[in-house]
Amino acid sequence: MFEDFHFASIVVSTIRNAPVLIFAALAGLFAERSGVIDLALEGKILASAFASAAVAYTTQNPWYGVAAGVAVSAALALLQGFVSITQKGNQLVAGIAINIAMSGLTFVLAQFFYQQGGRTPDLGQARLFDVVLPGTAAVANVPFLGWFYGHVIGGHAVLVYLAFALIPLVHWVIYHSRFGLRLRACGENPHAADAAGVNVAATRFMAMLIAGVLCSFAGAYLAIVQSGFFLRDMSAGAGYLALTALVFGNWRPLYTALGCVMFGFFSAVQIQMEGVDLPLVGRIPGSLIQMIPYVVTVIVLAGLMAKSVAPKALGTPFVKSR
């Protein structure tokens, strides 16, 4: 049975599936740890995917594309911040609104500019390609290590390395920097932060901005690295799955990233599992495997597994009292 599994390709696929989730989940982490619910990850991913694909195509330069994605996603994040923080509006509704609006707008704009059924033209060479580490060819024939060096450590696009490098960086910022301390205070007890002299609104806006920037990489990754074009609704629920990873990871960078890798693994396995006979259960359809992350999250939310505790002030607009 196991000869049907190609472990090697599962490992590589996992590494390549994870970055979208990692970027989005870490983005959501900044926003939510500061106390603002971020349901709009999906919308930001789509917007930056479109913007980066469009600009990369027009300028034939993937990096300009990435920059465009960052700009668009950051702008959306600031809008979200304005509605949630300044207007003290319903943050859940704001997130859903942005997701739906971007789903429609990206298609319309893609159709308008490129007339290809709501997608952008293929980027061809204007993509970010896999980085081949020096010496890969030389060690290629060494059993296991050759493959490991060439395809696990090496052989991925720059954004993949960025995603994984962000994990320790975000952890450090959240737990070991002044900004991170103030951010966490705003998310747990904004009144205490305010009493201590922290500007809660400014901190939350900053967090939203960072979330916008990080999330943009998820979109750029989808468009410029993975597919080479923008396609309608190409985020395919990644924004919500990232939120799931956040809940699952108890809003902590390392565990959240672990959740993202795990979900990436499930994705990779799902494709392989089709048509594979397992002992006892027979063939598990891909759609049921797809369900697992969500079911697990519900179990966690029900408090039946590890306790997942959201930042205490999450979702409550801050109103200065006294």
Partner 1 sequence: MKTTELPRWATALLLPVLNLTSALLVAALVIRLLGESPLESMTILVNSAIVNPEGLSYTLFYASTFIFTGLAVSIAMKAGLFNIGGEGQMYFGGLGLTLAMLFFDASLPAWLLIPAAIAGAALFGAMWACIPGYLQARRGSHVVVTTIMFNFIAASLMNFIIVKYLIPDGQQNPASRVFLDAGAMPRLNAWLPVLGDTPLNVSFLLAIVALAMYGVMVWRSLWGYQLRATGLNAHAAHYAGVSISRTIIVAMLVSGALAGLAAVNSVMGSTHYLSLNFPAGAGFVGIAIALMGRQHPVGIFLSAVLFGALIQGGFDLSLEKPNIPQETFIFIQGLIILFCGAMENFYGPAVLRLINLGRKG
Partner 2 sequence: MQPAVEFRNICKAFGPVQANADVSFAIAKGSIHGVIGENGAGKSTLMSILYGYYNADSGQLLIDGAPRSIRTSHEAIALGIGMVHQHFSLVENMTVLDNVMLGAEGGFRLAAQRAAAEATLRDICERYGLDVDPRATIHDLSVGAQQRVEILKQIYRSASILILDEPTAVLTAQETAALFDILRRFKEQGKTIILITHKLGEIMDITDQVTVMRAGAVIGAVATATTSKEQLATMMVGRPIEGVLPRAPFQPGAAVLKVDNLQLNDKAGVRVLADVGFTLHAGEIVAIAGVSGNGQSALLEILSGMRLPSSGRVEMLGTPLPFAGLPDADGLPATFRTLGIGHVPEDRLRDGVIKDFSVMQNTVLGYQERVTNRWGLFDFAAIARRCARLLAAFDVRPANPDLPIGRLSGGNQQKVVIAREVSAAPKLLLVGQPTRGVDIGTIESIHKQLLKMRDDGVAILLVSVELEEVRALADRIIVMSGGRITGELNIEEFDTTRIGLLMGGMNTVGGMHTVSGVHNA
Chain residues that interact with partner 2, rule: CB under 8 A: 176-182, 184-185, 188-189, 191-193, 195-198, 312, 322
Nearer to partner 2, 142 or 195 (CB): 195
Any bridge partners for residue 282, and if so which?
278
| Interaction of residue 288 with partner 1, rule CB under 8 A | yes
Backbone angles phi, psi at 232, to 5 degrees: -50, 130
Question: Nearer to partner 1 by C-beta: 47 or 224?
Answer: 47
Site of tokens 């106390």? 35
Question: 3-class DSSP state for residue 8?
Answer: helix
Q: Name which position in 25, 45, 54, 98 contacts partner 1 (CB under 8 A).
A: 98
- Nearest CB to partner 1, comparing residues 123 and 246: 246
- Of 303, 240, 246, which is closest to residue 92 (Cα–Cα)? 240
Assess 169 for contact with partner 1 (CB under 8 A): no
Position 100 contacts partner 1 (CB under 8 A): yes
- Give the CA distances from residue 163 to residues 17, 148, 257, in Å, rounded to whole numbers and listed in that order: 11, 19, 10
Least distance from C-beta 83 to partner 1, angstroms? 5
Element (H, E) at 277: strand 277-278
Closest distance of CB 162 from partner 1, Å:
27
Q: Answer whether 123's CB lies under 8 Å from 228's CB.
A: yes
Instruction: Give which of partner 2, partner 1, none residue 189 binds (C-beta under 5 to 8 Å, depending on kind).
Output: partner 2
Are the beta carbons of 124 and 224 closer than 8 angstroms? no
Output the furthest CA–CA distance in the chain (Å, rounded): 71
Supply the minimum distance, in Å, between the C-beta of residue 172 and partner 1: 28
Alpha carbon distances (Å) from 78 to 27, 83, 85, 226: 13, 9, 10, 27
Taking CB under 8 A as the rule, which mask of x and - marks residues 294-313 in contact with partner 1?
xx-xx--xxx------x---
Under rule CB under 8 A, residue 177 binds partner 1: no
- Residue ranges that bind partner 1, judged by CB under 8 A: 39, 83-84, 87, 89-94, 96-105, 107-108, 111-112, 115, 118, 232, 237, 240, 243-244, 247, 285, 287-288, 290-291, 294-295, 297-298, 301-303, 310
